[in-house]
Amino acid sequence: MRQLEYLIIGAGFGGLGMAIRLRQNQHQDFEIWEKAADLGGCWRDNIYPGAACDVPSHLYSFSFAPKKNWSHKFAPQAEILDYMKECAERYQLSPHIKFNREITEARFDEDSRRWQVTSVSNDCLSVRYLISATGQLNRPAMPNLPGLNDFKGERFHSAQWREDVDLKDKKVIVIGTGASAIQFVPEIAKQAKSLSLFQRSAPYVITKPDRRYSKLEHWLLQRVPGIYTLSRLKTYIQYESRFLGFRSFKQVMRLMTLSWRRFMHGAVKDESLRQALTPNYPMGCKRILIANNYYPSFERFDIQLNTRGIEKISPSGVIDNTGVSHEADVLIFGTGFKASELLSPMRIIGRNGLELNEAWKHGAEAFLGITVTQFPNFFMLYGPNTNLGHNSIIYMLESQINYTLKAIAYCQQHQRSLLDVLPHAQQHFNNKVQQAIKSTVWSEGCSSWYQDAEGKHTINWPGFTFRYRHLTRQFNAKHYLLES
């Protein structure tokens, strides 16, 4: 079997970042196996109209690969994807990336102390270190609605956008009002003959302080040392301070709620529509969304907001819970992702034949969200409890990448071939995480993709990101079983 030192799973932000940092640390003996035919992860998949990032691009980019000419403060999807491709080119990653290599199984072999990895097309590889960078939002969640297969028109999920389906003059029904839907609804409303939007719970949508960068700003960013760094720092502090509202200072969230209410009331004149667009849970419990064009589009394009729930799908549309039929040529699902099924459907098999799914049967957990006991030499980027509701995920990924590099460097310096996190280190860390989550707004009685099927919060990091950076800044051998 072919042997390598490192295998990275996935060529999204995490995988590319890990690969760049491996190269910068003089490691060449690695590959990235990517299940799709191109790199980019969620920025390759989510091509729906209006797709853009809700974190400013100066911060939503690698600190070690700055781009100083973003067109907008919040870059659109195509520009982010281009940036990722530029990074791959700039750091000569192409020879390392193997496309159309979906991994089915990774099994730890006790004798060789290596991971044996197999792909769908039966490619096999033996690696010392396995690093997953599969993201949390890559498996579309389709609701299990009765009659779905009987629908005669076109239907698709927002993350599998059908560019071949022309929405012009079509009757369109959208199901879901999350972060994706609020971006594409105002765009497709411009083309569709009619648009009906099925909302199960209303989101909080606040203003998006987006704008184009001027030529002067581009010049300053590129020529004056420190300006770009200052911009990153300013954005970081601004976004990080929002966490105060999620955890300790309820007044911060109250102020944000007041500002949301003013914005919504200014944009929507109809009182009953305003009521329907008002969430019934505290702000922050689900992801806070940003868009300037979502609320105004209801009156501008006469979007029908339906809050009666869905009884079933009929061959010609949707039957709501009051028995009323809504006709559609096209059904679009903005129904989110199977976020808590981390790493599925891959089978990751650790020591003594233990499957990761089995180890996680009471909810996914890992030490620092990175290593799992009984799964030696295995590191996760964007693992359990490392998602954010308030800041850039790239900052978290960089913390995880640095930690992984330090762990590997430790093993190499001390001639250790196996590293396995100690059960009590993992348990202690996760007890603290779950304790901290209890005092966040996420525990205030709404259901969201932040929880798994049993209601356990396995997705979010319940602290400041600088705290996470501090915890991951050094590899501490006392947390691990290390064998030569």
Residues forming contacts to ligand NAP in the complex (CB under 6 A) are: 52-54, 137, 143, 158, 175-181, 198, 200-201, 286-287, 310, 334-337, 449
Left if phi > 0, otherwise alpha if psi is -120 to 50, otherwise beta: which for 32? beta
CA dist., res. 147 & res. 150, Å (int): 5
Residue 59 vs 103, nearer CB to ligand NAP: 59
Residue 23 vs 456, nearer CB to ligand NAP: 456
CA dist., res. 103 & res. 168, Å (int): 39
Residue 177 vs 257, nearer CB to ligand NAP: 177
CB of 340 to ligand NAP, least distance (A): 11
Residue 180 vs 465, nearer CB to ligand NAP: 180
Residue 205 vs 370, nearer CB to ligand NAP: 205
Residue among 163, 194, 199 at smallest CA distance from 181: 199
Neighbours of 331 (CB within 10 A): 22
CA dist., res. 276 & res. 251, Å (int): 25
Contact 380, 369 (CB under 8 A): yes
Residue 412 vs 447, nearer CB to ligand NAP: 447
Residue 92 vs 160, nearer CB to ligand NAP: 160
CA dist., res. 77 & res. 95, Å (int): 25
CA dist., res. 479 & res. 28, Å (int): 28
CB of 175 to ligand NAP, least distance (A): 5
CA dist., res. 235 & res. 213, Å (int): 15
CB of 226 to ligand NAP, least distance (A): 27
CB of 446 to ligand NAP, least distance (A): 8
CA dist., res. 260 & res. 268, Å (int): 12
Tally the C-alpha atoms within 13 A of residue 230's C-alpha that lie toward its C-beta.
7
CB of 453 to ligand NAP, least distance (A): 13
Residue 285 vs 419, nearer CB to ligand NAP: 285
Residue 247 vs 287, nearer CB to ligand NAP: 287
Residue 33 vs 449, nearer CB to ligand NAP: 449
CB of 107 to ligand NAP, least distance (A): 31
CB of 335 to ligand NAP, least distance (A): 4
CB of 47 to ligand NAP, least distance (A): 12
CB of 42 to ligand NAP, least distance (A): 7
Q: Who's near 285: CB < 8 A, 6+ residues apart?
A: 441, 442, 444, 445, 446, 448
Query: Read out DSSP for 327-373?
Result: E-SEEEE---B-TTSTTTTSEEE-GGG-BHHHHTTT----BTTTB-T
Q: Who's near 360: CB < 8 A, 6+ residues apart?
A: 342
Neighbours of 412 (CB within 10 A): 13
CA dist., res. 145 & res. 46, Å (int): 23
CB of 275 to ligand NAP, least distance (A): 17
Query: Read out DSSP for 261-302?
Result: HHHHHHH---HHHHHHTS-SS-TTSSPPEE-SSHHHHHHHTT
Q: 465-472 and 393-413 are packed helices; what angle lies between their axes, rounded to 10 degrees? A: 10
CB of 388 to ligand NAP, least distance (A): 9
Residue 92 vs 304, nearer CB to ligand NAP: 304
Place of tokens 């070690």: 64
Residue of this chain nearest to ligand NAP (CB atom): 178
Tokens of 357: 């799914």
